[in-house]
Structures are given as structure tokens and as C-alpha cells.
Amino acid sequence: MKFLISAPVLLEHLTKVNGAIVSKPVLPILDHFLFNIKDGKLTISTTDLETSMSSTFDVEAKEDILVAIPSKIILDTVRSIGDQPITFTVVEEGFAVEMSTSIGKYSLTGLNGIDFPKIPDVESDKSFSMPSNVLLRCISKTVFATGNDELRLNFTGVFVEMTNDEINFVATDANRLVRLTRKDIKPGFEHSFILPKKALGLLKSSLSNDVSPVQIDFNNSNVFFNVNNMKLSCRLIDEKYPDYRMVIPQENNNVISVNRVDLLETVRRVSNFSNKTTHQIRIKITGNELAASAEDIEMANEANEKRSCEYDGEDIEIGFNSKFLVEMLANLDHPQALLKLSTPNKAGLLSPVENEDDEDVLMLIMPMMLNNY
């Protein structure tokens, strides 16, 4: 059984689905690409039993073929071959695989594709679609705020909340929270689920920054994404997400408007002098002046900077984790940022002065208890 394919084309599709392969699989065959050829179309699939990916494209083949090929050796070989065609020959008995090019031949042993775990079929209760660039933005602007604590699995993913007229993407690690609302996406029903971080990372690297439609189907246990002949399915996090609306303060009346990039650079510089365990930075607003400071008593390090701002409220001094503040400021797009505060022991709200069309971004950051210098 033979098929012919261009090395650059093959590399493109291998790279698309390679992310679902884990370095230490529970089954040896999970370290393989599944090659499934039917009617002149090759589908390459990978899975870790929780997340599955596949990519389909045309190939020159006269027979149907099903074989699992070791991932690392074929990926490394195809990556180094360059721009030339590769002829694959698969011997059904023993599943020996030979790759032939104009410069050489390479033989390896595959596995019976029948033994590859079944990739979940789309069995959806509900579905909707959204442009690839919008989904990419929703993931990029929220996934950074997810947690890593495996004892709190609901915080390790992004909560997707659908209503008739909009969709919310929410992420939190209990110290910060990001909510991104898209009012131009109208699912037409009310539902919600939690997407795991690995699947979000794979989607982020796979989606194109254009308006290609992404079909999203889901049921109570799985979600399926389909865009440009690339499919990704994953098991949802089976946990209850907290009522995030309850933690968003409604009366933060001390409002600071400041140049976002200037504040971001200030926090980055000053944080270099903060305690390496707490990363605490002190923000003090007096009149139209914002002062940022940090110190590491053990290392005798200290830094202070001042920035002008527009401020409406009472003088206030509050502490934040500088790492969180940097990430949040870096993920806002508008040149001006709004920071809304209440008291030094209550959460602050960060947002752009103006949101993008059909979008609303809100970020929450918990304060840190300040110690007197």
C-alpha cells in the first residue's frame, strides 16, 4: 500500500496535531500519529485520551490505509527533508513503513491503526459558531488568568457562559479574575461549560487570525471544534464553576485613569526590586500622582517611581502582586487603563478606558496586605 505526499504539506499537518501527544503516554500507541486514508483523503489524528486532534487533506493514494506511525521519528525526519515529495509504503503484515525520497530511504515499524483509541465523534446537544479571530482573542485574553492547582480543577480552565444574546469567557485563579464578553456572538440558548487549559492552548496555536468560521458542538461531557479541516475535541472539566459575579465589587468609587504602557513599564521596573516570594508592589495615589514602590528587606533592594494620572477619589494606598498586575496590563489593548478601587482590603477592577466594538473586558485583582516600611 502506497501514498505520495509533499514533505512541507505533511509537516504542516503533523505540526498542527502534534500538541495532543504527551511525552509519557499511558499507552505506547498514544505516542503515534494515526494515518487514516479513505478515498484519497488523509486524516492524521492524535490523542491523549482527554484531548484529540485531527487534520484532513488530499493525498495521492489508490488504496485505503490505516496505520499508526511513531511521532518523534517521522516528525524529525520530515522536518529535515526539505521541499520534496515522499513516497510512503506500508506493509500490512507487521505494519512496516518505508519512506522514500530522491535522496534516501527510511524504514520504521508502525502499529495497527485499529488499536488506536477511537477519536470521539461529534455527538452534540447544542452548537453555534464564531469567527476564528474572535475565538482566538477570547482565549488569549483569558487563559493567562487560569489556575494550576489540581485540587481546584474548576479554576484550571476557562468558563464559557452562553446566553441568547452574548457569550462570556471567564478565568480565575482566586487571586485575579478576567471576564471577556462578546456581544456579537449570539448562541441563542443558555448553557455553560469549563474548557481545560491544554485544549485552550492547542486551540490558541491552531486558530488563524481571520474570520474563518469555527463550528462548536458540545454535550455534557465533550466539546468539538471544527475549522478549516482541523478538528479538536476535548473532555470538559466536570466541576461546578463559582458564581463569579458575586466577587465583582459594584462600588469602587476611586477611579484612576492612567497611560497603560507607562504604568506597565513602571510596574515591571519596580517589581524587579520586590520580594521574590511575594512580588508585592505598593500603589499610592495622591491627587493626580500615582507612586509605585517595592522593596526586598532581606536583599536591601528598594525602588520608587511616580506617574501622573487622572484621579477622582480619596487618597489611597494599596498593595498588589506585581506579576499579576503586569500580566493584566499587558493583556489590555487600549492606551489608557482604568483602575477602580474601594478600600485597601478590597479587590480592584482594571479595564480599558474604551472597549473594542461588541466587546467588554473586566479584570479583577485581589489586594495584598501592606507592611509598613
CB 51 within 8 A of CB 27: no
- Tell which residue, 315, 299, 309, 301, has the closest CA to residue 271: 301
Please tell me the predicted confidence (pLDDT) of residue 150.
87
> Which 3 state secondary structure label does DSSP give 224?
strand
Q: How far apart are CA 60 and CA 350, in angstroms?
A: 54
The reported pLDDT for the residue numbered 62 is 87
* Predicted local distance difference test score (pLDDT) of residue 372: 59
Domains, the chain, ordered by start: 2-115 (3.10.150.10), 126-245 (3.10.150.10), 249-365 (3.10.150.10)
Cell of 305: 517611581
What are the phi and psi torsion angles at 190 (to 5°)?
-110, 125
CB atoms closer than 10 angstroms to residue 152: 14
Chunk the chain into consecutive blocks of 10 residues (it has 373) and report each block's average pLDDT, rounded to whole numbers. Answer: 93 96 92 95 96 95 93 95 93 91 94 93 86 97 95 95 97 97 96 96 94 94 93 96 94 95 97 95 96 92 95 95 97 96 96 93 95 59
How far is the CA of 313 from the CAs of 12, 317, 329, in angstroms?
55, 12, 21
Nearest partner of 162 among 216, 235, 214, 226, judged by Cα: 216
pTM, 2 dp: 0.92
> Exposed e or buried b for every residue in 276-315, given b needs 16+ CB within 10 A?
eebbbbbbbbeeeebbbbbbbeeeeeebebebebebeeee
Q: 292 pairs with which residues across the strands?
A: 283, 305
**Which tens digits make up the pLDDT trace of 98-145?**
999 999 999 999 999 999 999 888 877 899 999 999 999 999 999 999
Q: How many helices (H) and strands (E) does the chain have?
A: 6, 27
- Distance between CA atoms of residues 311 and 174, nearest Å: 28
pLDDT given at position 370: 86
DSSP assignment, residue 150?
Answer: T
Across the strands, what pairs with 79? none
CA nearest to 170, candidates 248, 65, 285: 248
Helix, strand, or coil (residue 126): strand
Sheet holding 280-286, edge to edge: 301-308, 289-296, 280-286, 316-321
Could you tell me which of 244, 227, 233 has the C-alpha nearest to residue 135? 227
Span 284-311, pLDDT tens digits: 999 999 999 999 988 899 999 999 999 9
Query: How far apart (Å, rounded) are the C-alpha atoms in residues 181 and 163?
Result: 11
